[in-house]
Structures are given as structure tokens and as C-alpha cells.
Amino acid sequence: MWGRAVGWREHYEARLVSAEEAVSHVQSGDLVALTLGEEPLVLTSALQARAGELQNVVIQCAGPANERGWFDPGISPSFRVQVQNSYRYTYREFLDSNQADFLPSLFTLMFKGIEERNLESQRPDLFMAVVSPPDKNGFCSFGHSLWNKRGFVKRSRKVIVEVDQRQIRTFGTNCVHVTEIDYFVEDPSTDPPVYLTLPEPDDVVRRIGEHVGALVNSGDTLQMGWSRVVMLLPSLGVFDDKVDLGLHSEVAAPGIPRLVEAGVINGKRKTLNPGLAIVTALAGAGEEMNLAVDNPRIEVRDVEYTNDLRVISAHDNMVAINGAVSVDLTGQINVETGAGLYPINGPGGQPEFVFGSLMSKGGRSITVLRSTTPDGVQPRIVAALEEGSTVTIPRTLADYIVTEYGIARLLGKSLRERAEELVGIAHPQFRGELKKALKKRFYSYG
């Protein structure tokens, strides 16, 4: 990298290259890192075009947007894909058939192996991301989502960015100086950016929202996870009757900027960063996303900070709200695997926020899920998790479990008491079967 003594404009102009020239720096055997958020599609497409020329390049990505290219026929000898957060349905079939590998990790431990165990972990040879054009001081923004991009900039041997004029600017640590970047490729796209859109909430989600609202108090600091049910809650008005809410979260769900604008989320009672809503990514669209642009009340910071257990637990009355795939009668929470051990999600930041919120003075962890699959065929509250299912949150950390049928309070309860609570919020169609399992397990020896 060039030193700061060189003017940033000269550095930018000297390193402005075509996508083909930029990806020519990838060599066989390299590890190429991508992150959550917008994927640099111009750069990844140029790299995919080198299939057959390269060998054994590891693409370490988290929810790739251009996933079909990585799995085209004949591309595998050149590229091996490691997925960190598999929330896109389009490539689950490749995980299931072992055409891609899954890398379990927590955001706050992602770089520990590189920094402390370099004989066991490969340092990224090249990191690619999307940024805004530089401002007058030579700083580029990472747009609406930061995640661990700055961490990869610091730890990768080369950094290549795709410069996209549509990227927004925010307060926080959401920037990188041009002198920290090796090569720039300008994206000519002018179409409006595509942001996350959510389905309309149904009656099940509305009833879940009512129960969640009963567990949240004015003055609480909230975290809301990447779950379709959870992401709908702010727009449903679940928090509109509260005052002085705070936000310290991985993602700002749609509806959050509106609550900040309205003063419902003002952070007045936050233990850390009072008056500020802290996230590492923004989710929303159109005018709502624009509410976060250059807004000093909303800061986008590194995921290493937002997900740090010590930071989370330092907030009094920290409330973590997250989704789940299934919960068994002991309180084990599965977030990652579906029927037949089918991969659905990575853990994301849920383990960090669940543990951090429970360590918080006055803190709570709320897990929400529909009582059945959307088609109503399979229960989500089960007697036992299917063999091989991932236990994302152990039963020792289970707190409040919420379905459309109510709230199960598990913290401090025995296994028998937990099972009774969970049967009470299961779908009525499956309660008989669950009661039989409960009786067999907990009452047959009394």
C-alpha cells in the first residue's frame, strides 16, 4: 500500500484499473474474501471468467449474491466456495450436495485464527468489496452495510474495491481511506439500488408481535436479528407505544429509521453510546434508507464492536430478539438446519447477542418462531430435535420463547417445567403428541 505522503487523488488515479486487470492479481491457491452486504458483481464476474486458468482458489463468502456463477458447470476445479452465512435459498442445494463447504464462525472470532494461530488459518490474499466514490478527504463509504469489511482491509494482502456512486454515507466507522486500497474499479451502473424487501405480515406474525411487545419495556436497548418474523416487528408498530428505547444491533430492520426519526428510539437511557442508534448494517428501502444518510443519530460501526459480548452485556436492559427454526422441549434452539438436516442459516450474531443480553443487568433474550412451518405441516416446537440438527443456542441460554400462541418462560425452570411451558405455546394440532412425549420423559418414573 502507498503511504499517506502520496496525495490520495494521485493514489486513486494511479490505481484505477479495469475489472480484468484488477482480478489478474488473483493467483492459484489464493483465498479471496467477500463479506455480507453488497457483493462486487463486476469484480466477481471478471474473476469467474478466469475459470480454467486458475486452480484451487478459495472463495470465502457470506451469503453470495452472484452465487450461480460460482457453481456453473466446470468452474469447481478453479474455485472452491466456503459459505459463512447461508441465508440465500439459491445455493442451499450446493451445500447439500457438498459442492460448497460451510464455515461455522462468529463475527467476533473471525480473525482470531489469523492473528493468533497463523499456522492453522490462511490469511486472505485478496479482499473485494463495494464502496462509494471518495469524499473531499479521500474517504470511501461502505454504504448501507459495514459488517467486517474494515477488518478484512486491515488483514488482507491486497484490497480491490468496486466504486459505486449509488452507495450512501453514514456516521460511525463506516469508511476506508483510498490509500488503504490497492486497486479501484468503477461500476458504471446507474439503476436504483436493490434493497431488502419483506412480505406483508400475516395474522401469525401480528400475534407474535403482540407477545413480544409485552416483553419490551420503555428504556430497553434492543437488538433484532435477521429473521423474517423479527424483521417485520418494527413496521408492525410493536414498539410505537414505548419511549426512550435504545438500539444496539447487528442489523437495523426496516422500520427502525422511522422509529429513530419519530423519537421512539432516542437512546436517552442507554448505558453505552447514549443518544445513538448503533448497528453494523441497515435494511430497508427508498425514503426510509435515506433517513440514515448523514444522520448523526444513527451510526454504522464494525461488527467486531456491535457483536462484542463485553459491549453487548455492558448495556443495562439489553433485549435480544431473534428467530429460530425449531425448539425442543428442553429449550434447545436450532437456527441453522431444517428437515433432513438441510442447511438454512448460519448462526449469524445470534449466539453473541443471546449470551450478551443474558449477562446484561435487566437483560432478556426473546426467541420468536411460528408454531408450524408456513404450510402448517410440520411443528416448530418439537419433542426432540432431529438427530444431527444444529443446536445454535444451548438450553442453558434459553430464556423467553414466543409463538403466536403465547410466551414460554424458560429461564430458571426445570426440564419438566420447561416442557410444560413449551407445550402451552405449541400449535394445538401437535399438543397431544407433545404431551405424550412430555409424560413419557418426565412422568413415567414418578
Burial class (CB in 10 A: 0-12, 13-18, 19+), 271: middle
How far is residue 17 from each of residues 22, 195, 237, measured CA to CA in Å?
Answer: 6, 28, 48
Same domain (yes/no): 163, 38 = yes
Domain contains 124: yes
Q: Collapsing DSSP states into helix, strand and coil, what is residue 123?
A: coil
Least confident range of 97-111, 246-260, 313-327, 430-444: 97-111
Q: Collapsing DSSP states into helix, strand and coil, what is residue 194?
A: coil
pLDDT tens digits, one per residue of 244-253: 999 999 999 9
Same domain (yes/no): 241, 323 = yes
Tally of structural domains, the chain: 2
Last residue of a domain, one of 151, 186, 221: 186
pLDDT at 157 over 80: yes
The amino acid at 170: T
SS3 per residue for 15-56: CECCHHHHHCCCCCCCEEECCCCCCCHHHHHHHHCCECCECC
Please, which residues have CB within 8 angstroms of residue 156's CB and are 6 or more apart in sequence? 33, 123, 124, 125, 126, 127
Structure letter (DSSP) for residue 234 = G
Same domain (yes/no): 292, 401 = yes
Under a CB-based contact definition with an 8 Å cutoff, are residues 295 and 171 in contact?
yes
Rounded CA separation 328/315 (Å): 30
Last residue of a domain, one of 157, 186, 215: 186
| Main-chain dihedrals φ then ψ at residue 292, nearest 5 degrees | -90, -10
Q: What confidence score (pLDDT) does residue 362 get? A: 98
Strands (E), 324-417: 326-328, 333-334, 364-368, 381-382, 400-403, 406-409
Q: What confidence score (pLDDT) does residue 431 get? A: 98
Domain contains 195: no
More confident residue, 344 or 329: 329
Same domain (yes/no): 347, 301 = yes
Indicate if the alpha-carbon torsion angle 246, 251, 255, 261 is positive or negative: positive
Crossing angle of helices 415-423 and 428-442, rounded to 10°: 160
Task: Residue 277: name the closest of 291, 285, 355 by CA.
Answer: 291
Domain contains 257: yes
Same domain (yes/no): 207, 124 = no
Active-site residues, by number, are 250
Domain contains 267: yes
Q: What confidence score (pLDDT) does residue 64 get? A: 56
Last residue of a domain, one of 186, 214, 229: 186
Q: What confidence score (pLDDT) does residue 65 get? A: 56
Same domain (yes/no): 170, 63 = yes
Least confident range of 68-77, 277-286, 328-337: 68-77
Same domain (yes/no): 98, 150 = yes
Rounded CA separation 160/182 (Å): 6
Domain contains 1: no
Q: What confidence score (pLDDT) does residue 184 get? A: 98
Under a CB-based contact definition with an 8 Å cutoff, are residues 15 and 184 in contact?
yes
Same domain (yes/no): 18, 63 = yes
Domain contains 193: no
Looking up residue 72, the CATH number of its domain turns out to be: 3.40.1080.10
Q: What confidence score (pLDDT) does residue 446 get? A: 43
Same domain (yes/no): 419, 392 = yes
Task: Residue 246: name the closest of 236, 235, 256, 232 by CA.
Answer: 256
pLDDT tens digits, one per residue of 202-214: 999 999 999 999 9
Q: What confidence score (pLDDT) does residue 285 get? A: 65
Domain contains 312: yes
Q: What is the enclosing helix (H) or strand (E) of 437?
A: helix 428-442
Under a CB-based contact definition with an 8 Å cutoff, are residues 152 and 51 in contact?
no
> Residue 364 has which C-alpha cell?
432478556
> Residue 231 has which C-alpha cell?
424483521
Same domain (yes/no): 147, 241 = no
Domain contains 266: yes
Query: Domain range for residue 407?
Result: 203-442
Structure letter (DSSP) for residue 244 = S
pLDDT category at 88 given cuts 50, 70, 90 is: low
Same domain (yes/no): 169, 24 = yes
Average of per-residue pLDDT across 96-108: 82
Same domain (yes/no): 408, 309 = yes
Residues in the chain: 446
Q: What is the pTM of this model?
A: 0.94
pLDDT at 176 over 90: yes
Looking up residue 326, the CATH number of its domain turns out to be: 3.40.1080.20
